[in-house]
Structure 1
Amino acid sequence: MLMFVISLATFLSLGGARPSLDNINHFTTEKESEEVRSSAIKRLLEVFGMDDPPAIQGHMQAPQYMLDLYNTVANVDGVTKDPYLLEGNTVRSFFDKLHSEQVEFRFNVSTVARSEKILTAELHLFKLRPQATLSFNRHHFCQVSVYQLLDSIRTNNTQDKKLLSSRLIPVHSTGWEVFTITQAVRSWMMEEGINLRLQVVIRTLGGSQMELKLIRFASGRHHHQSKQPMLVLFTDDGRHPTALETTDEVSATSVIPQAPLPGPPSRSARSLDYSEEEAVSKACQRLPLYVDFEEIGWSGWIVSPRGYNAYYCKGSCPFPLGQNMRPTNHATVQSIINALKLIKSVDTPCCVPDKLFSINLLYFDDDENVVLKQYNDMVAGSCGCH
């Protein structure tokens, strides 16, 4: 994976340069360069689980909830802070498509693959300040219930709605209210063609209907985008970390050094001759490798990060391998066999990542929904001789 990113960065850096017009092979070289660039970007899209980049029309604003969630689980480079902070590896947000003046909502989740496992589904509603000033002394709490509206013809059932969640909410409160509706979304995803429609019913503690002026939730029709009703799905797409992925660290940022790993300990640089200095500089180490999404042309649909440092491993693994080279037992034995020239075809061990970290991508999908997804094995945390 990292070798591919290295190749991609090389081709992208070359993409801006054009052969001289005096060169007879100008057209051929330029065409081959574009083909390589196109192939490299297509392969990178596959790494991110996409066939084509999403087509976004105009400037879109991500929900504040998704921005806050991204900042909670990822650092400024997108690297995962703690693999246990996020449930699953994908979070999808959907805005209400019905835009009704009534307390009814409809969500289109057709972009969710049926292979994705629905872990948790939440309905996020923004409770507005009450308009009415009457009856405040009589009502301090209300019962808010979320129902799924059923297709009675399809289900052959006289019941036209099913209770999903219900709880008490203070009448005077304002802000986001979250209702868990996981089972409804799971069943809806299994039955193709059923429309997920939701209705919110507000009653007094005595069971009577509440005045809408007293209890109001923001709608997609009359209120700012930051307060629109939203369905949030926490899912798992089945991808799992490799053996190198760190899953037991409290924070990946605390163990990723910001500078290349040092070479093997030795005498002061002043006492080294040229060959020793060269050997140290060429020893296995981690070097920066920045992947710039804007340079690739993806800044229109990726919200965060703008790019990230993937790092890469480079250098030799000479005999004898010290512990600073982080060698495996197998690499140590291979190094000995090579040094003794017991088998001519055996080379020295290779300098490769021995710890990898995931990154998080916050982006718009084809339906302009905002998605937060974690991708495994994207950053070399450290390098060693293997």
Structure 2
Amino acid sequence: MNFVLVFSLVLGEVLCWPHAGVYIDNGLNQTIIDREMTPAEKREMEMEILNLLGLPERPKRVSKSLKRSAPRFLLDIYKSLMEEENGGHRSERSADLNLSGDEQNAIDESDVIMTFESINHHVSSVRHERGKRLWFNVSEMPIAENVVGAELRIYQKEILSPKKARNVYTVTVFELVNTDSGERELEYISAVNTTGSFTGWLNLNLTACLPTWVAFPDSNKGLYLSVHPVDKPGREIRPEDIGLITAKGPDETHPFMVAFLKASNHVQPKRSIRDLSSKRRVRKSNYVEMMLNDNPHYGSTCKMYDLYISFKDLKWQDWIIAPTGYSAHYCAGECKFPLNGHMNATNHAIVQTLVHLMNPNKFPKPCCAPTKLTPISVLYFQDDTNVILKKYKKMSVKSCGCH
């Protein structure tokens, strides 16, 4: 039977819960508490996991509904990624989400996908007033992230007018920029054609302007959305005339921007995370040693055991959308001579074992360690308007071996 280690931490307003701690499988089909954690240890554990997730602090509680367009979009992507990991096919994912080839490639290439809901933001008038102005707060996006792509997603519902439904329209997005004279002008970003009978999401490429907004926040004056009939390019009409939902409407059709990002190797949170003191390091090291000595499987042959991290027990379900937790697993046991095939030993481990047998006081035995690690994806609210889907590398052990 596998040794099951569950971090069951209760934080925040219920820190005094008497049974928060580390649970183990006692080998009798029972899970028992191995050691209760003090309130300080529970806060420390929370900070360590937040540090691992790259977050400087616990995001504030969010009351936003998952019915809103941005979190629904990322939740669908999250579910499709999970289905693909479980044997699904990429073509099925693209078809279900109506993803283009470029969008599919951006999802696969990115480590972080962020969404930004449009916000009412005062912008001085421009020359064209039949269109709509949109603004997105991208100030929380790390500067060091590499932008793979960005797009505006705006929903269109079918026009009831038979004449307008047959027409073809060009939807163009412009960036609002300041000229040298201080006046505000429009700079072309991208465009897409649609018909009045179309129902669904329109995607407009914003990759050209997002890096500038992030590097120079003051340059973010927003976007201007313009609609013209293809046969009458000089005539601008209101976006609402072809069924575009730009502001008012159901939560599930609210316009939003999505950014596909590739994490830099040196990305740091905007607010510093306090480092571990040497005292804390020693205490954790002593605790790990104590756990190993008490582990009923300590001394057995190297192999993989169960370890489940519960976000729900951390009371993080108010900001983490999915998953409720994940199977991290861990490697434990000894690398004893002879190193059999099931130990997945490296050639170096075999040589080290032989040297250890000749001089055990000078040369240690090989260590039992992961040989394969896989990523996990976590979907969470960053704040009331932004949602993030982030892939964390090397989070789950898939196999163990002697090194």
Distance 2:58 2:255 in 1: 27
User: Is the partner of 2:258 in helix, strand or coil?
Assistant: strand
In the alignment, the residues of structure 1 paired with residue 41 and residue 225 of structure 2 have an alpha-carbon distance, to the nearest angstrom, of 53
Q: 2 CA distance for matches of 1:310 and 1:18?
A: 19
2: CA distance, partners of 1:80 / 1:367:
32
Is 1:235 the counterpart of 2:252? The answer is no
Whether the 8 Å CA contact 2:302–2:331 is kept in 1: the answer is: yes
Alignment partner for residue 226 of structure 1, among 212, 230, 252?
252
Map of 1:93 onto structure 2: 115
- In the alignment, what sits opposite 1:197? 222
2:26 corresponds in structure 1 to: none
Q: 1:320 aligns with which of 334, 338, 344?
A: 338
CA contact (8 A) 1:77 1:309 kept: no
Overall identity of the aligned pairs, in %: 26
The one of 32, 37, 40 aligned to 1:35: 40
Offset of residue 224 of structure 1: 1.1
Compared with structure 1, are the counterparts of its residues 326 and 349 closer, same or farther at alpha carbon in structure 2 (3 Å cutoff)?
same
- Which residue, 71, 74, 81 being the options, matches 2:79? 71
Q: Which residue of 2 aligns with 1:337?
A: 355
Report deviation, 1:56: 2.1
SS in 2 for 1:294: coil
Query: After superposition, where does 1:291-370 map in structure 2 within 5 Å?
Result: 291-339=309-357, 341-370=358-387
Paired position in structure 2 for 1:252? none
Equivalent residue runs for 1:106-255 within 5 Å = 106-136=135-165, 139-152=166-179, 155-156=180-181, 160-205=185-230, 206-212=232-238, 214-220=241-247, 222-239=248-265
Partner Cα separation in structure 1 for residue 394 and residue 227 of structure 2: 47
**In the TM superposition, what whole-angstrom CA distance separates every residue of 1:225-271 from its partner, at most 9, and x where no partner exists?**
1111110001122149xxxxxxxxxxxxxxxxxxxxxxxxxxxxxxx
Amino acid at match of 1:347: P
Q: CA deviation at 1:149?
A: 1.4
SS at match of 2:218: coil
2:389 to 360, 363, 372: 372
Residue 134 of structure 1, CA deviation: 4.2
TM-score by length of 1: 0.75
- TM-score, normalization by structure 2: 0.73
Unaligned runs of 5+ in 1: 20-28, 241-277
Cα distance per residue 1:146-175 (max 9 Å; x no partner): 1111234xx437660001002321221110
Partner of 1:256: none
* Residue 261 (structure 1) aligns with: none
Does 1:47 find its partner at 2:72?
A: no
1:17 aligns with 2:42: no
1:105 aligns with 2:137: no
Q: Distance in 2 between matches of 1:381 and 1:126?
A: 41
Does the 8 Å CA contact 1:77/1:305 hold for their aligned counterparts? no
CA distance in 1, matches of 2:299, 2:218: 62
User: 1:121 deviation in Å?
Assistant: 0.8
Q: Is the 8 A contact 1:73 1:86 kept in 2?
A: no
Q: How many residues align?
A: 328
- Distance verdict in 2 for CA 1:45–1:81, change over 3 Å: farther
Q: Structure 1 residues 104, 368: CA separation in 2 closer, same or farther (over 3 Å shift)?
A: closer
**Judging changes above 3 Å, is the alpha-carbon distance between structure 1 residues 352 and 12 closer, same or farther for their aligned structure 2 residues?**
farther
Tell me by how many angstroms 1:288 deviates. Answer: 0.9
**What is the DSSP-based 3-state SS (H/G/I as helix, E as strand, rest coil) of the residue aligned with 2:336?**
coil
Partner of 2:109: helix, strand, or coil?
coil
Give 2:97's aligned residue: none
How far 1:318 moved relative to its partner?
A: 0.9
Task: Give, as a single letter, the amino acid of the residue that structure 2 aligns with 1:209.
Answer: R
Aligned 8 A contact 1:103 1:200 in 2? yes
Q: What amino acid is aligned across from residue 150 of structure 1 in structure 2?
A: V
Deviations for 1:101-121, whole angstroms, at most 9, x for unmatched residues? 952211001110111111201
Task: Tell whether the 8 Å contact from 1:285 to 1:383 is kept in structure 2 after alignment.
Answer: yes
Amino acid at match of 1:238: S
**Secondary structure of the residue that 1:336 maps to in structure 2?**
helix
Shift of 1:12: 7.1
Task: Verify the 8 A CA contact 2:304 2:330 in the aligned structure 1.
Answer: yes
Deviates more, 1:351-360 or 1:315-324: 315-324
Q: Which blocks of at least 5 consecutive residues in structure 2 are unaligned?
A: 22-34, 91-103, 123-129, 267-295
**Partner Cα distance (2:160, 2:133) in 1:** 20
Cα distance between partner residues in 1 of 2:251 and 2:139: 21
| Paired amino acid for 1:187 | T
Once the two structures are TM-superposed, the CA of residue 216 in structure 1 deviates from its matched residue by 2.3
- Equivalence for 1:270: none
The whole-number CA distance in structure 2 between the counterparts of 1:58 and 1:143 is 37
Shift in Å, 1:372: 0.3
> Residues 12 and 143 of structure 1: is their aligned pair in 2 closer, same or farther, counting only changes over 3 Å?
closer
